[in-house]
């Protein structure tokens, strides 16, 4: 830990406090995005590039866009215009302090096994047929956890969809924006596919790729481009496709590899890439579904 890390930690704490104590929802959302970007930087300093990418793309990017959207809708709603004062920041602050205390206590009780776990993973990496340890853990050693995680995500999206979605006017056509988005979106899609592909050998993977893909589709949506493709993404089938693919491949492992969620020898790389590609499409569609889009 050097001066830069200490400064980063202090700024993160200050931003967190400022975010909780922000006067308006919009200011709080903007501070939250800044917090997410600096948190990604902190993950880079800790050597966890995969987490940093996910934090920047999902924590700051998608979550930030969601919060800003919600803040804007709240400001325009009757409840938002009638409330003269912002709610007291004390209850959330105290709750967060309590959570921080619990986390600190939990941290202090954990036995230091990180070194052993790292050794175990690198020893087993050879047999997993996957070059990147993070991908090997997520989709080979602990595939069960990832499978459940995807199911949880789907349930969360279902719950979010139970809330009535706001009806918005279709975006106004802007030639300058359309021109830029017209070649920005293909580049973003290319980056998403690259992240997915890179996941097998270095930093990258389905979640990061999905966040970038969802960002690209949102960009297209907000500029009013490719409405037909956008409608295709809102189909429920796209959201469940990843989980179904994962389950089918996992179950067929019982016959081809002798274990559920096992992969037959020599096929691991291809099957994992296939599952991740399906997951990327579904996670992107799920993130999009959270925006609850409905055109007027």
Binding site for another protein (CB under 8 A): 174, 176-177, 180, 184, 187
Q: CA 33, 38, 44 angle in degrees (round to 5)? A: 130
**Tokens of residue 154, six digits:** 């789907």
In the chain, the N- to C-terminal Cα span, in Å, equals 53
Smallest separation (angstroms) from another protein to the CB of 291: 19
Cα-flanking dihedrals φ and ψ of residue 295, to 5°? Answer: -80, 150
* Per-residue CA distances from 255 to 3, 18, 76, 243, 260 (Å): 55, 55, 57, 19, 8
Spell out a b/e string for 252-265, using b for 16 or more CB atoms within 10 Å of the CB, else e: ebeeebeeebbbee
Taking the least distance from each CB to another protein, the nearer of 101 and 187 is 187
Q: How far apart are CA 250 and CA 259, in angstroms?
A: 8
d(CA 25, CA 92): 14
Q: Which is nearer to another protein, 145 or 174 (CB)?
A: 174
Of the pair 148, 187, the CB lying nearest another protein is at: 187
Give the separation between CA 138 and CA 150, rounded to whole angstroms. 12
Q: Which of residues 67 and 177 has its CB atom nearest to another protein in the complex?
A: 177
DSSP class of 266: T
- Beta carbon of residue 177, minimum distance to another protein (angstroms, whole number): 7
For 257, half-sphere exposure in the C-beta direction (CA atoms, 13 angstrom radius) is 18
Q: Pick the closer one to another protein by CB: 75 or 174.
A: 174
CB of 187: closest distance to another protein in angstroms?
Answer: 7
The CB-of-174 to another protein minimum distance in angstroms stands at 7
Decide whether 188 or 285 has the Cβ nearer to another protein. Answer: 188
């Amino acid at each position: 830990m050097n001066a830069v890390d200490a400064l980063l930690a202090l700024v993160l704490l200050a931003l967190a406090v400022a975010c909780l104590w922000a006067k308006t929802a919009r200011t709080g959302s903007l501070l939250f995005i800044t917090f997410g970007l600096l948190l990604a930087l902190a993950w880079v300093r800790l050597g966890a590039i995969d987490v940093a990418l996910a934090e920047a793309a999902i924590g700051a990017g998608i979550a930030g866009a969601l919060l800003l959207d919600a803040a804007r809708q709240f400001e325009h709603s009757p409840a938002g215009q009638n409330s003269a004062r912002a709610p007291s920041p004390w209850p959330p602050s105290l709750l967060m302090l309590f959570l921080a205390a619990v986390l600190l206590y939990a941290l202090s009780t954990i036995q230091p096994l990180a070194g052993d776990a790292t050794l175990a993973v690198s020893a087993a990496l050879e047999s997993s047929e996957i070059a990147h340890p993070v991908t090997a853990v997520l989709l080979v050693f602990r595939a069960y956890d990832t499978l459940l995680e995807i199911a949880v995500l789907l349930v969360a999206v279902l719950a979010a969809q139970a809330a009535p979605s706001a009806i918005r006017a279709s975006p106004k056509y802007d030639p300058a924006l359309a021109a830029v988005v017209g070649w920005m979106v293909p580049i973003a899609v290319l980056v998403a596919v690259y992240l997915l592909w890179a996941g097998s050998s270095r930093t990258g993977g389905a979640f990061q790729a999905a966040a970038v893909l969802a960002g690209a589709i949102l960009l297209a949506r907000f500029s009013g481009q490719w409405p037909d493709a956008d409608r295709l993404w809102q189909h429920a089938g796209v959201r469940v496709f990843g989980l179904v693919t994962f389950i089918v491949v996992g179950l067929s492992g019982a016959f081809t590899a002798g274990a559920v969620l096992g992969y037959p020898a020599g096929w691991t790389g291809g099957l994992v890439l296939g599952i991740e590609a399906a997951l990327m499409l579904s996670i992107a569609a799920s993130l999009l579904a959270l925006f609850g889009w409905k055109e007027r």
